[in-house]
Amino acid sequence: MWSEVTLPLWLVIIAALLAALAFLDRLLIPSVRWALRRRANKAISELNTRLRLQIKPFKLTKRQVLMDRLIYDPEVLHTIDEYARDNKMPREVVMEKVKKYAGEIVPSFSAYAYFRIGTRIAKRISESLYRVRIGIRNEDSFAKVDPDSSVVFVINHRSNMDYVLVTYVAATSSALSYAVGEWAQIWGLRNLIRSMGAYFIRRDSRDALYRKVLSRYVHMATASGVVQAIFPEGGLSRDGKLRPPKFGLLSYMVAAFDPKGPKDVVFVPVGVNYDRVLEDRMLTSAANTEPGKKPVFGFNLFTFLKHFLNAIWLAFRGRWYRLGYTCVSFGEPFSLKKYVVEQKIDFRDLPEDTRHAEIEKLGLKLMDAVGRVVPALPVSLVSTALLDASPAALSLFEIKARVARLIDELESNGAYVHIPRADRDYAIEVGLRMLRLRHLVLEDDGSFRVNPNDVHVVRYYANAIAHLLPDASAAGEFSPLPVQEKEKTLVEVVQPAT
């Protein structure tokens, strides 16, 4: 019993390593995880006391648990059976596709990544590039929103910078969950974006199975009170105008809404504008793409390095300016529960065609509210004044007179005009300087005119506020129709001709 056993040294080393791993796995690692999770939960509890809209338990649920809930959702399982039968595929194969879609869509939110890393990076980038301002705050109305409601920020889409800017501006309110496209599926960036609560979507997918999985995730998140941010336009504006909204995500959010349920869905219109959009030339070039041909947006490393190194050189010489002002305005919160009561509808009970029409009607109403809070900034004001006179040149005095009339007109229509330092002359100088530095406007003997080669870029900035002017409809700008005409048009769209 007490006889000695001789073992090779290598076997003793392997046994010792395995014993150490077992000790770590069974004793130390669970203890460390418990301690870290306890600290994380305490930090989140403290964070929720400072946020207007608390981080909901759904957002903090383990990713694998959310994936399992999504995969085994009754509606998803029903769709799996139908898909397998219609496409004559084994159910196990279809189930694997669903698991792949769920793994692609479901985020893995980390409060630390969002508030310690994400928002700090967003702040640094935003303030390095722009003079960030908040226009209309609507704090009194926002304070009346039930904190248990599912809040959805509805935002116009000017630039990919929108994600960064709105994350920074809304950091004191809550953690936003975005739907991001394929552009974010980049190695290294993908995990960071997912840890910040964003979920990936295939914008052009026609796969019914994929759409069902996505719709159920959006419904689950909305029903659980996750604060979300959506861009109804579905893509960046290529000419500066507000684009007609798309209704996919909105449909997923409201189609199963229960008007008598405990949770309301509150939409908050958000208007964003910039004195300079980083992608403006690329977007305006894409606007001239042949009809029916999808533009290709490529990343050119040499072009990027050229502009980056030039900015460093200008900064070193003290001649680099930030890209002007950017401004974010918040509109009046919009209660879905109140809306369906007023309209006497329940999306769940409507026939499919009628439901689509009602969702489009709601979407147009939300997009109209977003358009009304888009701020007017110096570059847009000066661009509008110069284009009205183009190709003629204007003196500085004439520009100031035209911009002053434009500001009065916008303010009389209820639009928010950001005037830096409350000085109109300074605002005009800022706008004119930005356009001159980029050679979009040429100066000759004290007169200013639009560069003939860049009229489309100047018009891009003027179009940002075109819908706020009284003649916007006559000029062909996006503007929701009167209710009766709108209802007629939507019925014609969704019902086949007879």
Average pLDDT over residues 124-142: 89
Check residue 474 and give its pLDDT.
Answer: 36
Torsion of CA 127, 128, 129, 131, to 10 degrees: 40
pLDDT tens for 296-338 read: 555 555 666 776 677 777 767 776 678 899 999 999 999 999 9
Q: Which residue(s) pair with 266 in the sheet?
A: 151, 335
How crowded is residue 48: how many other Cβ atoms within 10 Å of its Cβ? Answer: 15
What b/e string do you get for 324-340 counting C-beta neighbours within 10 Å, with b at 16 or more?
bbbbbbbbebbbbbebb
Please check whether residue 367 is in contact with residue 457, taking contact to mean a CB–CB distance below 8 angstroms.
no
Question: Token pair of 323, please?
Answer: 């890209």
**Rounded Cα distance, 38 and 180, in Å:** 31
Average pLDDT over residues 341-370: 92
Max Cα distance, the chain (Å): 108
Please check whether residue 329 is in contact with residue 374, taking contact to mean a CB–CB distance below 8 angstroms.
yes
**Rounded Cα distance, 292 and 41, in Å:** 51
Average pLDDT over residues 23-41: 58
Check residue 481 and give its pLDDT.
Answer: 39
Q: Model-level pTM?
A: 0.82
Residue 476 CB-density burial (10 A; 0-12 exposed, 13-18 middle, 19+ buried): exposed
Kindly indicate the confidence band of residue 492, based on its pLDDT and cuts at 50, 70 and 90: very low
Average pLDDT over residues 80-86: 92
Look at residue 330 and give its three-state secondary structure.
Answer: strand
pLDDT tens for 356-367 read: 999 999 999 999
Kindly indicate the confidence band of residue 289, based on its pLDDT and cuts at 50, 70 and 90: low
Q: Which residues have a Cβ under 8 Å from the Cβ of 54 and sit 6 or more positions away?
A: 48, 147, 174
Q: Is 148 left (phi over 0), alpha (psi -120 to 50) or beta?
A: alpha
Taking all residues of the chain, what is their mean pLDDT, rounded to a whole number?
82
DSSP 54: P
Check residue 470 and give its pLDDT.
Answer: 76
Check residue 225 and give its pLDDT.
Answer: 86
Please check whether residue 83 is in contact with residue 209, taking contact to mean a CB–CB distance below 8 angstroms.
yes
Average pLDDT over residues 337-360: 92
Give the N- to C-terminal CA distance of the chain in Å, as an integer.
Answer: 96
